[in-house]
Structure 1
Amino acid sequence: MNKFIKSSLILLLVAFSFLSIQAQHTPYDKILSDAFSSQPSGATAIVTKGGEPVFVGAVGTADIELSVEMKPEHIFRLGSITKQFTSVAIMMLEEEGKLNTDDLLTNYIPEYPIGDRKVTVAHLLNHTSGIKSYTGMPGFMQNNTRDYYEVDSLIEVFDEEPFDFEPGTQWSYNNSGYILLGAIIERVSGMSYADFIQERIFDPLNMTDSYYDDAQQMIPNRIPGYSPSREGIVNSNYLDMSIPYAAGSLLSNVEDLAKWNKAVFDGKLISKASMDKIFKPTILADGNEQPYGFGWGIGKFQGSKIYAHGGGIFGFLTKGIYAPDEDVYVAVLSNCNCAPPEEAADRLLGMAIGKSIEREEIKISETALKDYVGTYDVEDADSKRYISFEDGKLYSQRDEGRRFEIYPYGKDQFAFKGDASTLEFIRENGKVVGHHLVQLSGDKGYAKRTSMKIEMKEKVMVPDEILKKYVGKYELNPGMVLEIKIEDGKLMGAPAGQPAAELVASSNTEFAVPDFGVKIVFQVSDTGVCEGLDFTQGPQTIKAKKLDQ
């Protein structure tokens, strides 16, 4: 086909898909708009069936300062979706006889100090090496993001750090492992990581909108990324792309990602034997299974098998999901750390495979809502779920975790706002006796209703002179600042430009934000000066230093 005609047709198709977003003609459009239209930034998405696009769309703004509308062809940082490419590159080299994933790391990087530990290439791929992840080392991602690192210099950042655990005994997401994999690719192939990915993957697959990120290179359609702050949306902090390297340095757009996914599963790059290795769950030394293979997460969506990975990098959040049995692929890319793509990706996938998770709220009386209020013992766990009623709404809270509003969408069926799980209440002789928590995977967990009353902790009244010591700004992560202030006599927290929420005290130093499952403990010196805080949400605790005012 004449190159000019081909280019014109591509532009015409892109324009058509963009116009369809503006017109909001399909359920897919609505899902994308619902997820991102409240943000000043934007997002793109693609849905394919059998490798063919059934939806390509964009919403919002690509460049806020220039008021450029988002389009599907715009190019984003992928973040950790890069790990898929690194994994496949390793498998390509294994098929060529240049390495073996069962070999020790020191077969290829002999100077790496592992002692008598047997760290294999496979341990690096599936996050079980125990090597310290450099992105989690205190201060590194706060103080070094403008620095350029040669690969060996980046390895030296973490190679003398103590191991977190013995190889193969635990699973812990680890960016250092993928830096080492990038170094192995370079050493056994004789090519730079960037050149290998370009020449062995991007070029053969005609991924013309995919690159190894380079701030100096002129890249058409590359867009900026944004982060939330107390003042609103700001340009994300600078990050030299030598730092994420083989763990997160690639750029692409949704249409190229669809090409990539189809090529992998069509066997164009690696054999079925290699794919079986990649998509095999990790088995730890104690026999426990982890739902992660080599560069892909392994899970279920409403009973359907899925392979997925997300990415988070300065200014960008990304998600890709593939349902192999239905041959459906979804990718969602966002150019702001403020707008997670997971919910949109899940809803798009559900729509495409005929397992929609759209839940339309129905109206029932307050008296009927109160039927569900109570304490429920979660089966096979030392845990309770509390269903409470407040201001005409029902809320669900697991132990002291985040409190979610739930709303009815069917008889004895409730959906969570902000989460894809549902609750199905069970009755006997007309009375509610328990519920099933139905996960997005389709798995169900039972909880029995008890006669125990909901225990509401009394609010501790902290003296004003102590609260005033906590007022200030605390850096949770680069570009992510939590502001603590006093409003109407209440201690309030406003993270990253979000609406302020009240901090409820359980002691003079310990506070919680129940609706978000957040615990905050202020760190006060012997002299009574607040030096920082511990911010805990779920299993993760961040130590945040108080910034100078």
Structure 2
Amino acid sequence: MAVSIVERRRAWRWAMIGMTAWSAALAVSATPVAARTQAALAPSTTAPAGKALDTALDAYLAAATKNEQFSGTVLLARDGKPVFVRSYGMANYELGVPNSADTVFRLASVTKQFTALAVMQLQEQGRLKVDDPICRYLADCPAAWRPITIRELLNHTSGIPNFSSLPDWDEVLSRRDYTPAELVSLFRDLPLKFTPGEKYDYSNSGYHLLGLIIERASGIGWGEYVQQRIFNPLGMTHSGDDNTRALVPHRASGYYSLGATFINAPIISRTVGYAAGGLYSTVGDLLLWDRALAPGKLLGQVSLDAMFTPAKSGYGFGWRIGERFGRREMDHSGSDNGYSTYIIRFPADGLTAIVLSNSDRASAGKVGNAMAAIAFGQPVTLPTAQLREILWERIDRDGVAGAIAHYGELKRSGAKLDFGDDALVGLGYDLYEARRYADAKAIFRFNLTIYPKSAYSHDGLADIAVAEGDPKQAIALFRQSLALDPTNSYASDALKRLGSSARD
């Protein structure tokens, strides 16, 4: 069985943009936003508004579209009213359909905040308590889960392993259809990672179980509950549960990027999202959601306070709570095949940024944080051309030898580019996905002359060996990778798939 290129793609993609599993890293610096002409704008002494805000936000988004392959729709709101709504790129590149304010995107893990609110509604209705043991609501509950409470599912401290981190998830398991109960069978017999309540460890499995608990407590399906008790009352008419084959008007397709171009993201089953990541929506509907997160709308003050109280690692119930720009904020990101989503709220300032993207390359979290920084008059740096895209274009023009020569020229010139291991590894895997194996091998080998301890480069060469039908060479290369980095689970999992181990 082929090793998971999607898994490896995720590994270097998250490393390059500096994201955690649930929130984008803050992307501000001491360098101010530059206009499209590259002339620097001085940091604002007061928060920009009107045309100045519009110009600064559009300058950032245009640069992200050009240099980081951003594609999607964004919204910035003050006091519940949109002050900037704009779309970039295409909802469907094959049909030439541009993104718009009405474009529908898969929310991925932004779904979790809706699941968390549903739980709190049921608590207010007296149908459950967050400190109830989960086995009270789950059929055939494993003995190991008996000490786990609903609260520990909500704040990711249950210790239940994350099903989307299972070996073969990306290439095999995620492509199968499941009922919610059938998906539980993938992780129900796995040992807990730690004693419940002891640590934080992000787990889609926990939120999947919350969906089943909501169904047991409410007597209706999870998707139906969210529709009836959240979407319908708020008028969120462009939102829903994506576990269906029904047509969704204005739905965006999800894309991966190769150099400065796009390819279709791998297809995964719509059944695997469920309560952990299965909703779709628009920026306008999410603004209705943002407005409803006030006492008396969907929940009372006590329940909202519980949702927004951080536990371990700053995670509350469906939200990460922290401080940014010296202000209290709450946020959550989502990532699915070909989608990147993000919402960040500053309640005391009345500011909300929403980013829905159908491109894997540009982090929605990075974009959302930059938008908030601009709105607060903080300095931000425009996205610039990345080494990976520069070299991709040079390969197309002058071949790999020309690209390698250009790499040397750029480095000697002192160009402000990321010349780290990840840049060439990313380029190598882009070429691999385009099935340009000879070019990919040349790039990985070149990277090893610069970074001889690059485990990922050995992985790349091993993946190519698998694709070219040489498992013996692949095994040798994966073993070299593990020798350089014994913690490289990608290589160890690949060896298992190839029927081998780290040693002869």
**Partner residue of 2:474?**
530
Q: 1:139-181 CA distances to partner (integer Å, 9 max, x unpaired)?
A: 1332133322111111111101111111111211100001100
Equivalent of 2:115 in 75, 80, 86: 86
Work out whether 1:294 is the aligned partner of 2:317: yes
Equivalent positions of 1:107-122 (< 5 A) are 107-115=136-144, 118-122=147-151
The 2-side partners of 1:545 and 1:233 are apart by 27
The answer to whether the 8 A contact 2:144-2:192 is kept is no
Please report how far the alpha carbon of residue 395 of structure 1 lies from its aligned counterpart in structure 2 after TM superposition.
Answer: 8.5
Work out whether 1:356 is the aligned partner of 2:378: yes
Equivalent of 1:254 in 271, 283, 296: 283
Equivalent of 1:542 in 479, 487, 490: 490
The answer to whether the 8 A contact 2:357-2:364 is kept is yes
Equivalent positions of 1:368-447 (< 5 A) are 391-392=413-414
**Partner residue of 1:503?**
448
What amino acid is the match of 1:306?
E
Please report how far the alpha carbon of residue 273 of structure 1 lies from its aligned counterpart in structure 2 after TM superposition.
Answer: 1.0
Provide closer, same or farther for how the CA distance between residues 215 and 322 of structure 1 changes in structure 2, counting only shifts above 3 A: same
**Partner residue of 2:340?**
317
Equivalent positions of 1:477-496 (< 5 A) are 491-493=442-444
Work out whether 1:264 is the aligned partner of 2:293: yes
The 1-side partners of 2:130 and 2:381 are apart by 44
What amino acid is the match of 1:503?
L
| SS of aligned partner of 1:277 | helix
Work out whether 1:138 is the aligned partner of 2:167: yes
The answer to whether the 8 A contact 1:47-1:329 is kept is yes
The answer to whether the 8 A contact 1:35-1:343 is kept is no
| SS of aligned partner of 2:303 | helix
The answer to whether the 8 A contact 1:503-1:512 is kept is no
| SS of aligned partner of 2:185 | helix
Please report how far the alpha carbon of residue 291 of structure 1 lies from its aligned counterpart in structure 2 after TM superposition.
Answer: 1.1
Provide closer, same or farther for how the CA distance between residues 316 and 117 of structure 1 changes in structure 2, counting only shifts above 3 A: same
What amino acid is the match of 2:414?
G
What amino acid is the match of 1:186?
E
Q: 1:327-372 CA distances to partner (integer Å, 9 max, x unpaired)?
A: 10001111121222222211111122x24232589xxxxxxxxxxx
**Partner residue of 2:129?**
100
What amino acid is the match of 1:343?
K
Q: Say which structure is richer in strand.
A: 1
Bigger Cα Rg: 1
Provide closer, same or farther for how the CA distance between residues 116 and 43 of structure 1 changes in structure 2, counting only shifts above 3 A: closer
The 2-side partners of 1:273 and 1:491 are apart by 60
Please report how far the alpha carbon of residue 521 of structure 1 lies from its aligned counterpart in structure 2 after TM superposition.
Answer: 9.3
The 1-side partners of 2:353 and 2:141 are apart by 38
Provide closer, same or farther for how the CA distance between residues 111 and 480 of structure 1 changes in structure 2, counting only shifts above 3 A: farther
The answer to whether the 8 A contact 2:421-2:454 is kept is no
Q: 1:98-148 CA distances to partner (integer Å, 9 max, x unpaired)?
A: 111111111111521033751111111111111111111101332133322
Q: 1:50-100 CA distances to partner (integer Å, 9 max, x unpaired)?
A: 101111111111110111121111000000000000000000001111111
The answer to whether the 8 A contact 1:47-1:53 is kept is yes
Q: TM-score, normalised by structure 1?
A: 0.66
The 2-side partners of 1:301 and 1:51 are apart by 20
Provide closer, same or farther for how the CA distance between residues 229 and 30 of structure 1 changes in structure 2, counting only shifts above 3 A: closer
Q: Say which structure is richer in helix.
A: 2
Alignment gaps of 5+ in structure 1: 1-23, 283-288, 362-388, 404-469, 494-499
Provide closer, same or farther for how the CA distance between residues 41 and 68 of structure 1 changes in structure 2, counting only shifts above 3 A: farther
Q: TM-score, normalised by structure 2?
A: 0.71
**Partner residue of 2:265?**
236
- Which is bigger in relative contact order (C-alpha 8 A, separation at least 6)? 2
What amino acid is the match of 2:341?
T
Alignment gaps of 5+ in structure 2: 1-52, 384-410, 499-504
What amino acid is the match of 2:490?
I
What amino acid is the match of 2:96?
S
The 2-side partners of 1:264 and 1:211 are apart by 19
Please report how far the alpha carbon of residue 231 of structure 1 lies from its aligned counterpart in structure 2 after TM superposition.
Answer: 10
**Partner residue of 1:175?**
204
The 2-side partners of 1:504 and 1:98 are apart by 62
The answer to whether the 8 A contact 2:65-2:89 is kept is yes
The aligned length equals 404
Q: What's the Cα RMSD here?
A: 3.8
Provide closer, same or farther for how the CA distance between residues 360 and 139 of structure 1 changes in structure 2, counting only shifts above 3 A: closer
What amino acid is the match of 1:81?
V
Equivalent of 1:50 in 68, 79, 82: 79
The answer to whether the 8 A contact 1:44-1:334 is kept is yes
Work out whether 1:330 is the aligned partner of 2:353: yes
The 1-side partners of 2:382 and 2:249 are apart by 41
Q: 1:433-452 CA distances to partner (integer Å, 9 max, x unpaired)?
A: xxxxxxxxxxxxxxxxxxxx
| SS of aligned partner of 1:44 | strand
The 1-side partners of 2:373 and 2:241 are apart by 32
The 2-side partners of 1:482 and 1:252 are apart by 34
Q: 1:180-199 CA distances to partner (integer Å, 9 max, x unpaired)?
A: 00000001101101100100
Provide closer, same or farther for how the CA distance between residues 506 and 46 of structure 1 changes in structure 2, counting only shifts above 3 A: closer
